[in-house]
Structure 1
Amino acid sequence: MYDHRKLGRELGLFDTDPLIGAGLPYWLPDGAVVRHSLEEYIRTAERRAGYRHVYSPVLGKRELYEISGHWGHYRDDMYPPMEVGAEQVVLRPSLCPHHAVMYRSRSHSYRELPLRMAELGAMYRSELSGALGGLTRVRCIQLNDAHIFCTPDQVGDEVAGALAMIGSAHRALGIEGARYRLSLPGPDGKYVAAPEMWQRAGKLLSEALDRAGIVYEAVEGEAAFYGPKIDVQVRDHAGRESTLSTVQVDFHQPEQFDLHYVGADGGKHRPVMVHRAIIGSVERAVAHLIEQHGGAFPAWLAPVQVSVLPVSEAEDAAAAELRDRCLAADLRVQVIGAEEGSLGARVRSARLVPYQFVVGPAESANGAVAVRLRDGRRLPAQPAGNAIARIRALVDGHETRLWTD
């Protein structure tokens, strides 16, 4: 496994600067492509699963977090309040209070539930300098967050749906070796004091894991302050474990914010709030992908998907035409011309690019390409349109395979 802090900088994906501050990485163009592709994947997957996307402010009044319980249970990890006129506002440590307020802003019938609300939003954690590192521990996090407001008898299916989305995302990203943890409260006083609520929520999560046939370990002391959760754990290059994806059942915040829906009986009922993050924070997800793939990302994530390599300057016009055809197919493409070195040297310089189109005199005359795959395979010369269409289909399918026969 690679160290993403070193490799990410060498590949020009991200960097940091003391003038911006520790734990506040910036994304360079190639890293921004990876991030954008990841964000588009998860937004599309959520939309197809019935989620509606929202935006919410990165600031909130201190009172908001007092109601949610973050101020009482999570204050040490939050930035101090800022005085704005007669009010105190805080950089949010979580998106869930905003989403609870957004749910509360409209009346809801049981017929509307489950209501699935998703956002790729920023949140802020006051991490100590010694804990910061690369993209895995940062002070500003872009979280793939969502909250499902549902009836109690819908919770099991919603948790199962979130687990299925996590599995699909991990397959598309080529993530291996993840393990599942049922995170339960510990004996200390940092958790909301409601034993019956904890038992009920924990039972729902364990039943969903069992029903999905997922092997997991129950661990005390790792729950959120308001409820138990399923954490999907991965390891970095040094063997350190961290949480990538999560599903949580929350009875606490619907109570705190007095959320309700109108039931079939015409009365008011309390919804359950299911929190879930399919890829977790974008920063941590990309850090793990850099380390697992060594920069050789699945084709749909790769900053450059196709390198066009004219054998000599005589093929420059054909290479430019091929580049334009790739662009028209919405593929990320570059031309590495003969002036940049021998063909062998150019092949090596593009070693992390999934597909290399070699254009020699025969290919130029026939509108064909000789395709080299990143894994070393060389495919027979074929019509350029055929190669582009095959690659487009693999990218659209979020395949980890480079080619299919």
Structure 2
Amino acid sequence: MVIRPSPEEETTMFDHRKLGRELGLFDTDPLIGAGLPYWLPDGAIVRHGLEEYTWTQERRAGYRHVYSPVLGKRELYEISGHWAHYDEDMYPPMDIGGEQVVLRPSLCPHHAVMFRSRSHSYRELPLRMAELGAMYRSELSGVLGGLTRVRCIQLNDAHIFCTLDQVADEAAGALAAIGSAYRAMGIAAPRYRLSLPGPGGKYVAAPEMWRQATKILSEVLDRSGVGYEAVAGEAAFYGPKIDVQVTDHAGRESTLSTVQVDFHQPERFDLHYIGPDGAKHRPVMVHRSIIGSVERAVAQMIEEQGGAFPAWLAPLQVAVLPISAREEAAASALRDRCLAAGLRAEVRHADAGSLGARVRENRLAPYQFVLGPAEMAKGDVAVRLRDGRRLPVQPAERAVARIRDLVRRFDPRLWTD
């Protein structure tokens, strides 16, 4: 069993590739293939929790959720520009029924086509379209590793179709949502980068488009008050972006979340809306990913937290510990009360070892309910928190309700007075 580090060791980073397997979160198999991890039951809980968090926050922010196919015709990516500027990262096309189809490297072309499928008035804008969907990158085997570099990515993606004067506020709103998500997830000290184009033919040749998009994102960053650095050569092929950077146990830096301004694809797909003057106008497309890919987000949390996830994400939220066999029935009833409240709870039975041993073995659980004769007689419970605090004995009903409320709010705190 992995034990949470002591306070003086809290700055230690963990290798998620090793620890994630030890914790039973994910694994890989040669028969499935390199860069294609599968989620085990506890990992699936964490993944589902992140999906639920993003879906909830996006709905509250006015996003509409969609689903789109993981395949698209080659022509789709020729129009978007991916085929000309991003083909080295794409899988080769498959010939099906006289057509060539491709595993998508990105969700944005699908969303552009969805926007184009209906007429839109300026009154509908900004139109925020979100999807947590799979996309595929033809990564070389030498760069694959754990969850941070994979060939099939589950991306928390969204595209905002808006007017030019709405772009800055939408980008700023996305940046604020990223900060809120990182606080809820317990991801500490991200760095911000303004990713700009570099030399070579990788980028769309449209100098005025790049100037305008860069100006908007620079002003958003300045207005947000976060420190950032501008780095050439890291932009998307169609536009500049704000990248939120994290670091793993080996000091390797990677991008987790992004905000991008795109004038290119609305033009390529001939997107338009009807303005107040009755004429057609071109929308701007803001790409944003709040938690990035689920795989990389989970990897970063393992690296920083050693498996001690925030309570709302923990695979086991409440470990119920009867002191002796006499409290077993009451412990089972308390577990059932937790389950009825929507909490993930299990009984750690008295015959599994001494109370001290069971406490240590379940230190990754954010809450431990200790149940002895006195607590059982009164319907109380002694609550131990993962951070070492022992709370006063209290009615079990009150403790369960308090934890349920924190979890439902995605609150990263273990307890509030």
Place the TM-score, normalised by the shorter chain, in its bin: over 0.9
Is 1:388 paired with 2:375?
A: no
SS across alignment from 1:89: strand
Q: Which 10-residue stretch deviates more, 313-322 or 373-382?
A: 373-382
- 1:213, CA displacement in angstroms? 1.3
Q: Which amino acid aligns with 1:170?
A: Y
TM-superposed deviation, 1:188: 1.3
1:145-294 correspondence runs (5 A): 145-294=157-306
Distance in 1 (CA, whole Å) between partners of 2:77 and 2:199 is 24
In 1, Cα distance between equivalents of 2:371 and 2:165: 60
**Which residue of structure 2 aligns with residue 80 of structure 1?**
92
Paired-residue identity, %: 81
Residue 342 of structure 1 is matched in structure 2 by 354
Instruction: Give the letter aligned to residue 375 of structure 2.
Output: E
Three-state SS of the structure 1 residue aligned to 2:364 is coil
Q: How many residues align structurally? A: 405
Partner SS state of residue 381, structure 2: strand
The letter for the 2-side match of 1:310 is P
Aligned to 1:111: 123
Give the CA deviation at 1:391.
0.8
Partner residue, 2:325:
313
1:31 aligned residue? 43
Structure 2 gaps, min length 5: 1-12
Residue 144 of structure 1 corresponds to which residue in structure 2? 156
Q: CA deviation at 1:392?
A: 1.1
2:382 to 347, 357, 370: 370
Q: Tell me whether 1:14 sits opposite 2:26 in the alignment.
A: yes
- Looking at structure 2, the residues matched to 401 and 153 of structure 1 have their Cα atoms a distance apart, in angstroms, of 38
SS at match of 1:275: strand
**TM-score of the superposition, structure 1-length normalised?**
0.99
Task: Name the counterpart of 2:139.
Answer: 127
For 1:389, give the aligned amino acid: A
Q: CA RMSD in A?
A: 0.6
Distance 1:403 1:274 in 2: 37
Residue 60 of structure 1 aligns with which residue? 72
Counterparts of 1:105 and 1:379, CA distance in 2: 57
Per-residue CA deviation, residues 69-110 of structure 1 (Å, 9 max, x unaligned), is 000000010000000011000000000000000000000010
- Residue 214 of structure 1: how far off its partner (Å): 1.7
| Matched AA of 2:206 | A
SS at match of 1:45: helix
Aligned match for 2:411, one of 391, 395, 399: 399
Distance 2:277 2:120 in 1: 14
Instruction: Return the letter of the residue paired with 1:55.
Output: Y
CA distance in 2, matches of 1:379, 1:197: 58
Amino acid at match of 1:33: I
Q: Which amino acid aligns with 2:209?
A: M
Instruction: Please report how far the alpha carbon of residue 248 of structure 1 lies from its aligned counterpart in structure 2 after TM superposition.
Output: 0.2
Deviation at 1:397, TM superposition (A): 2.4
Distance in 2 between the 1:185 and 1:251 partners? 15
118-127 vs 391-400, greater mean Cα deviation:
391-400
Q: CA separation in 2, counterparts of 1:96 and 1:39?
A: 19
CA deviation after TM superposition for structure 1 residue 59, in Å: 0.1
Q: Secondary structure at the match of 1:127?
A: coil
Partner of 1:379: 391
In structure 2, C-alpha distance between the alignment counterparts of 1:148 and 1:396, rounded to whole Å: 27
Which AA in structure 2 matches 1:252? H
C-alpha distance in 2, partners of 1:54/1:365? Answer: 52
Q: Which letter maps to 1:322? A: L
Aligned to 1:5: 17
Q: CA deviation at 1:117?
A: 0.2
Correspondence for 2:5: none
SS in 1 for 2:231: strand
1:303 aligns with 2:311: no
1:171 Cα offset (Å):
0.8
Aligned mates of 1:145, 1:399 — CA distance in 2: 23
SS of aligned partner of 1:22: coil
The AA in structure 2 aligned to 1:289 is M
Query: SS of 2:55's equivalent?
Result: helix
Does residue 101 of the first structure (1) align with residue 116 of the second (2)? no
Aligned partners of 1:238 and 1:211: how far apart in 2? 32
